[in-house]
Structure formats: structure tokens, C-alpha cells
Copies of this chain bind each other. A is one copy, B any other.
Amino acid sequence: MTPKIEAFLKDAEKDSPFLVVDLDVVEDRYKRLNSAFSEGHIYYAMKANPAKPILERLNQLGSRFDAASLGEIMQCLETGVDPKRISFGNTLKKKKDIKAAYDLGVDLFAFDSEDELDKIAEAAPGSRVYCRILVNRHGAGASWPLSRKFGCSSAMAHELLMQAKAKGLVPFGVSFHVGSQQLDPAHWAKAISDVATLFDALGEGGIQLQMINIGGGFPARYQEDIPSLEEFVDYIKEHMTASFGEKWPEIYMEPGRYIVAEAGVLQSEVVCVSIKDFAEEIRWVYLDVGKFGGLAETIDESIVYQMVTEYDDQEMGPVIVAGPTCDSCDTLYERTYFQLPLALKTGDKINILSTGAYTTMYASQGFNGFEPPKEYFI
């Protein structure tokens, strides 16, 4: 928790749940990645948190933007982002949305299928396209895997990038995604090598690709320590050289979680502490925010957040942590061995760390009559 956030929480007597984001942390993470990987271009994956103050700060710093929908593109443009700095990165787009984006000046589109390529060729003629390939299809090493749904085989990518040229598009590059919150850098090495092979094969056919998009995946710190960003970057650069030699293509990257997760703290209140029977020792701790209030990444207990209370120097005990809705599925940690102070009681505040990314935008519009958490940007 940054001093700025601490001061905000101390001053503020605000109804929970709410998210507070320290924009200086966003700036710090952007600069740190930009400095460590100055050869690359950062396309902020705005789905992680598309709030206007974040987009504004990143736009001032020179970031580019990875948008998942026409809606996100509009959010960028309203912030003053140059459409030439936006990548329409979702491989799933309605044709009318492709056309609208194209008419607004966007000229870079992702695809991973013939169907998508045809839509882009018709709705955004002459645009640059990049093909997403399927890597690490079982999501190994990633806490929030993101592999099977997107991307095609390298053989298909080869064919489709040739088709792209024939259809009047610019076959610009290849992308992949190793899985979000990826803790094992080795997954980048394999993917980079696959992309280099594809570059060579297409080069022989007269198609010179210009860009490799290494996706997102750089982790944020939750409960466990993680390797430093610099370790990931050094490792990736090493493998770029191993695969491409000294002359690299343009490198695009799409960090989201890394840029904003650690900038945010979600404040929650304990609604109830209970046991199910006098003979049971494990307590249930119910918070006023759960899976449908923004903590969707607790599905399958994938992301295990760090929760801070005022009693953390006191005796701890095992708990099951759940959200406030009348839905059994809204249980956060049941298999994960989670501990909270024995002194914790109804009405106490709990600060959930590293919640700047992939939280508030997941929140349901009002399931069980609960509004999404408010957001403050400081």
C-alpha cells in the first residue's frame, strides 16, 4: 500500500466496497517496463482497467492501447488517444465494429481465423493485420490461463497471412499470449521461436512480416513473491536474439495487469463472521464484495489476493472467505488455505491489495441489488 493510498484510506470515511487507484504507481510501472524494454512498444491492455484517469495518464506518457471492442476504442478516443496508436486486439469483432473502427482511423487489427480475416478485408481494406497463434494451450504456469480460446496453429497462420496479402491487407505480424499472470518465462521462449519459424517460412514465400506481439502476461504481486520484471524482460530479449539474431522485428507488448494491478486497493467490510456448527472450528468470513462485485478472478480460486486488516500482528486462524450475495458460487476461498486474524469481526475493514486490474470492470451491474464498487483515482 502506498503512502498516498494509506493517507486516502485514513482520511476517507467512505461506504465500502470501493477501489482506490494510485496513478503514480501506474506511471511507475509504465516507465519501468518502458525503460527495461525500450526496444518494444507498450500497448496497454485496457480491459484490465479502462478508467479514464488511467488512460489519460498513460496517454500522456506515450503509451499505445490494446482495445478489445469498439466501446474501448471510443473510450480511448474520448481520452484523446491518436487512433493510429490503437490496436483492435480482440480476434472476435463484428464486421460493423471493424468498419466503425476503421472509419475512426484505426488501422491495426488482430485475427486468428479465415472468417475474421474476411471481415477485416471487407470492412477495413488495406489495414495492417496480425495473426494470433496458439501457444501454451493448457495455460501452464499462468494463474489466469488464456490459451485455448484464442489463436490458431502456425500452419494455419502461415496460410492466413498469405491470404491476407491476397485480400489486399498488410500482413504485419504475429501475436501470442502465454497466459495472464504468467510466472514461468520459459513460455515466451518457445513462442518466440515458433514466431521466428513462421517469419522465415513466410519470408521464403515473399511475405516480410514486421512485428512480433508478445502479448501480456507479466505478473503482479499478490500473495506470493514473483520474479522481477527485469528478469522476464532479459530472458525475452535473450530469446529474441536466439530466434531472430541481431535484427529484430518491431516488438509490441500488451501489459494490463502488470501496469495497474498493484496500483489499486479494494476496501471491503466484514458483513458477518460465523461457524456452521458449534463443533466446527473453521470460520466463514463474509465480505461486502465477492465474485459478482469485482473479484471474478477468484473463480477456481485462481488469483489469491492479499487481505490486510488492523489485526495482522495478532493470532491467525483458518477461514473460508465468501462474498455477500445469495449465491453459493460467490465463495472466494474454500480450497485455498486462507488465514485471517481471530479478532476479526463484523464491521471491520479489510483492504484487498493489488486489485487495480481485472476487478471493477468484471463487477455485475447489480446482482442481488448490489451496485458495483465505486472507484477513486488519486
Contacts and interface: CB of A to CB of B under 8 A. Distances in A.
Contacts of A144: 329
Nearest to A142: B328
A364 interface: yes
A70 interface: yes
Interface string A130-173: 00001000010000111111111101100100000000000000
A347 B331 CA distance: 37
A137 to B, nearest CB: 9
Interface string A314-357: 00000000101111111100100000000001110000000000
A1 to B, nearest CB: 24
A348 B347 CA distance: 50
A368 interface: yes
Contacts of A346: 95, 115, 119
A156 B278 contact: yes
Contacts of A247: none
A304 interface: no
B152 A276 contact: yes
Contact of A272 (B116, B153, B276): B116
A141 to B, nearest CB: 14
B364 A364 contact: yes
Nearest to A50: B369
Copies in the complex: 2
Interface residues of A, number: 82
A89 interface: yes
A367 interface: yes
Given A112-B274, A115-B273, A156-B276, A149 B69 contact: no
A370 interface: yes
A161 to B, nearest CB: 14
A47 interface: yes
A100 interface: no
> Of residues A73, A272, A346, which shows the largest number of chain B Cβ atoms within 10 Å of its Cβ?
A272
A207 interface: no
Contact of A367 (B113, B275, B329, B362): B362
A72 interface: yes
Interface in A258-285: 269, 271-278, 284
A128 interface: no
Contact of A363 (B92, B139, B365): B365
A366 interface: yes
A134 B328 contact: no
> Of residues A361, A362, A369, which shows the largest number of chain B Cβ atoms within 10 Å of its Cβ?
A369
A348 to B, nearest CB: 12
22 contacts: A45-B326, A46-B369, A47-B367, A68-B368, A69-B324, A69-B368, A69-B369, A70-B369, A71-B366, A72-B368, A90-B326, A91-B272, A94-B271, A112-B274, A115-B272, A139-B328, A148-B331, A149-B322, A153-B277, A299-B329, A360-B365, A361-B364
Interface of A: 45-47, 50, 67-75, 89-95, 112-116, 119, 134, 139, 144-153, 155-156, 159, 269, 271-278, 284, 286, 288, 292, 296, 299, 322, 324-331, 334, 345-347, 360-372
